[in-house]
Amino acid sequence: MAENGIEYLKTIKSDLESGANRWRMFVNVLAEFGYQRRRGSSVDTVNDALVKLGLIATPALTSNTDLYRPMIRFSLKSSPVIPSAQLSVESSPSNESEGVSELPSISEYKIADLIPEDQSISCVLVNDPLDNALTEMLLHDYSQLVVEDWHRKYVGIISLKTVVSKLWHEKPQTVKDCIDQENYSVPSDTEVGQALSIMGERNVAVVIDKNGLIKGIVTTHDIATDFARLVGPFRRLEEIENRLGRMIATKFSPKELHDALRSEDTANETLPISELSFGEMIRLLQSQFSWDWLGTKCDRIILHAELDWALNIRNSLMHFRDFPTTTENKRLFDLMSLLRKLPDSD
């Protein structure tokens, strides 16, 4: 699995060399190397790969690095390394992974993120008799089938429309004789917005990895459905963060915020409320002193637990790990409604 992790980092390096910025959650980096825990040996393997590839991770990766936040910023060894605490909201995804100042852009997701976990793909081999493909389509009421070779690499698509057209003019014998001339494949690391442009009017994409192996199928309906399910929860999360931010802004000066959240990297800096992420707001309110200074009548432990839970929901949404259930959506709405009733949140 370490080989997969190295290839993963090579892709990040290639993106950096082309001028892009790359941020990743530590849990996802470990997963690419086949690890689930932050054991010393696991972290050492990742760090060794970073050194060999000339990459730098900020913050540095250790067995104590948080799995989800802040997100890890990758840079080339020859590039200036910006201390994580000095990164602005505009350039840092701490706001992206923890805050909810706006709905996520469709460009933040890769097409592979939208492949259903339990998806079963019906494929036919390129040299199969045509009758095999027709039987599969008629038996399961499919209008199209994915065509693969013996190595499970993508070859093309066969459709009833193409088969009928071929039968009208020729005498096709195998699946290969009826493969659609259009290319339906999309690389797994393609951004969703770009994938939609590639898909055009075809409404379907066969997602393949860098070796041409089939990873899954995504339709325009899948994309529309998944993003529609994001809108409601993100709107509620956006209001929760904004109201909490306004409450904090009325009680704490930039200097007081810095004193409460300071680190060694920011010893002489102030911290404007506009640069405070959702996660930092929650961390600020962990202490009884900060809570008392906020002046709310709500119980600190209960409300802090709800805010921390909301942050975890947001992180799951950003990475398509889970969509909120009906009960969870109701819980977000209740939290939002509570904050609406608190003074200074408007």
CATH code of 140's domain: 3.10.580.10
Tell whether 8 and 63 lie within a shared domain: yes
Could you write out the three-class secondary structure of the chain? Answer: CHHHHHHHHHHHHHHHHCCCCEEECHHHHHHHCCCCCCCHHHHHHHHHHHHHHCEEEECCCCCCCCCCCCCEEEEECCCCCCCHHHCCCCCCCHHHHHCCCCCCCHHHCEHHHHCCCCCCCCEEECCCEHHHHHHHHHHHCCCEEEEECCCCEEEEEEEHHHHHHHHHHCCCCEHHHHECCCCCEEECCCEHHHHHHHHCCCCEEEEECCCCEEEEEEEHHHHHHHHHHHHHHHHHHHHHHHHHHHHHHHHCCHHHHHHHHCCHHHCCCCCCHHHCCHHHHHHHCCCHHHHHHHCCCCCHHHHHHHHHHHHHHHHHHHCCCCCCCHHHHHHHHHHHHHHHHCCCCC
What is the reported pLDDT for 68?
Answer: 63
Tell whether 291 and 315 lie within a shared domain: yes
Tell whether 332 and 235 lie within a shared domain: yes
Tell whether 121 and 208 lie within a shared domain: yes
Tell whether 198 and 162 lie within a shared domain: yes
Which of 219, 234, 263 finishes a domain?
A: 219
Give a yes or no: residue 97 inside a domain.
no
**Unique residue bearing structure tokens 């994580």:** 84
Tell whether 241 and 334 lie within a shared domain: yes
Asked if residue 344 lies in contact with residue 251, where contact means CB atoms within 8 angstroms, the answer is yes
The span from the CA of 12 to the CA of 229, in Å, is: 29
Tell whether 337 and 227 lie within a shared domain: yes
In the numeric block, which tokens belong to residue 272?
Answer: 């404007």
Give a yes or no: residue 60 inside a domain.
yes
Question: Which residue range forms the structural domain that includes residue 135?
Answer: 114-219
Could you give the number of structural domains in the chain?
A: 3
What is the reported pLDDT for 272?
Answer: 58
The span from the CA of 266 to the CA of 258, in Å, is: 8
Most distant CA atoms of the chain, gap in Å: 82
What is the reported pLDDT for 315?
Answer: 78
- Please state, as a whole number, how many other Cβ atoms lie within 10 Å of the Cβ of residue 27: 17
Give which of 59, 54, 88 is closest to 72, Cα–Cα: 59
Instruction: For 278-306, give one letter per residue: b (16+ CB within 10 A) or e.
Output: bbbbbbbbeeeebbeebebeeebeebbeb
Give a yes or no: residue 19 inside a domain.
yes
Tell whether 228 and 334 lie within a shared domain: yes
Tell whether 209 and 244 lie within a shared domain: no
Tell whether 199 and 230 lie within a shared domain: no
**Run means of pLDDT, 10 residues per run, the chain, 346 residues:** 82 81 79 79 89 89 74 74 39 39 55 78 92 90 91 92 88 92 88 80 86 89 77 86 85 74 49 68 81 82 90 77 80 91 74
Asked whether the CA dihedral 5, 7, 13, 19 is positive or negative, the reply is negative
